[in-house]
Amino acid sequence: MILVAVGNGSGVRGGQVSVDLTIASTDGDQCTAIQWNFNLTSDLTLASVVLGNAAVVASKSLSVTGNLCIVFGVNVTAIGDGILARATFNIAANPVAVNIPLAITSMVAS
């Protein structure tokens, strides 16, 4: 099983917040590519995503279109446990919620 977890972050209204996405494999399962969507509320918009060390060590690339992120490579090197990516979000000037949920959906790993 491949587990991806979204870290916690904090920021101020109208500012930005960055969170790490960590990847961990269990039962010996590993992946060479992974994609996901950020399920965002109106309080957050995606500003940027950069590869984390686990993806960099595996020589992977990143594609971001809207809220869809894909980590891939032309190699068959497995992505090891660790930080898969770091995402930065813009926080709305007047957010509806004090604690803004952030979820990833439609995750597919190969």
Report the phi/psi class of residue 14: left, alpha or beta, with left for phi > 0 and alpha for psi in -120 to 50: left
- Mean pLDDT in residue range 9-35: 94
* pLDDT tens-digit readout, 72-83: 999 999 999 999
Q: How confident is the model at residue 40 (pLDDT cuts 50, 70, 90)?
A: very high
Query: What's the token pair of residue 78?
Result: 């497995």
- Mean pLDDT in residue range 13-21: 97
pTM of the predicted protein model = 0.93
